[in-house]
Amino acid sequence: MTTDAFIDALPKVELHVHLIGSASVPTVLELARRHPDGGVPTDEEELRAFYRFTDFPHFARIYQAVNALVREPEDVATLVLGLAADLAGQNGRYVELTVTPYAHHVVGMPMREVTEALDLASRRSREEHGVRMAYVFDIPGEYGVEAARVTLDHALREPPQALVGFGLAGIEQERPRYRNVFADAFRAATAAGLRSLPHAGEMTGPETIWEALDLLGAERIGHGTSCMDDPRLVAHLRETQIPLEVCPTSNVCTGQVARVEEHPLPRMIEEGLFVTLNSDDPPMFATTLSREYHVAADRLGLDRETLTTLARNAVEASSMDPADKKEIRDEIDTVAARHSEATL
């Protein structure tokens, strides 16, 4: 079995992918043509060029433009089901999809209708594509107090049945202004039984990761790559085995890493950190979850044993119940054993 065939056969879990960022080019074209006042290109070649980012703020502006095309609950369900279909084609078994309720709030969607769309989509994802769907509600940090209020209100009053986590994303440099507000929101969310799953250390230094751990009670960190700049933080993450959701192609596309060959993922593994592979915003970055495994093998030199560990890590770091985790672990082990037999 070739490495490419091994990766394609490997059952996968996605822990870091955004609803709007998961929209395929055909889906965005459909929405752009439906809402031509949105300023998003309606020509495929122009749309692909639209997705060539110069830096993170540029990416954020484009992301917001695409988000503005999602104006009705049925659009939300269509996006979720599109992601489920894409993951099913990659042997994806489970996904924790990040949804930003504030983005739907500002275009006038009632929270009840958004929740109904998410519930419908999670059921259909399992029935039609065999993909278990869970949700993480995240605060877009740059919008501050109002975004935190709306996100927490939706999570506590009208949560979808598959809501498992509470997150914080957006432009990290804006967070200090709202530090206490975010901390209060996370305390309320975790008291209600949601997991603390914020982004941190993507476009800022280790101090953001420390804040996520100390102020937000983070159980898992989105990105976290800047931890490598702080030996004390590396030691802490190694000791606690707090999972990191690493997204190599995303980091290159948003200018956080100059070249994929310079990505710190191999060093993070060598340091004994608990890492998982993820796609973040796959169509916007011209990637998939499977492609991230291919990049890890072909460009970062990770062997099949390490790729298997990454796949198992994602299962362990997920919010699935023990029986579902065991089912997917067993599938991964079967593929790994088949590979080992084929190489004897």
Compute, in degrees rounded to 10, the torsion defined by CA atoms 176, 255, 198, 75.
110
Sign of CA dihedral 321, 324, 326, 328: negative
239 is catalytic: no
Catalytic residue among 14, 96, 172, 202: 202
* Residue 276 near residue 283 (C-beta atoms within 8 A): no
Phi, psi of 164 (to 5 degrees): -120, -20
Residue with the two structure tokens 């608990």: 274
Residue type, 314: A
CA dist., res. 322 & res. 324, Å (int): 6
Residue with the two structure tokens 């192609």: 249
Catalytic residue positions?
A: 202
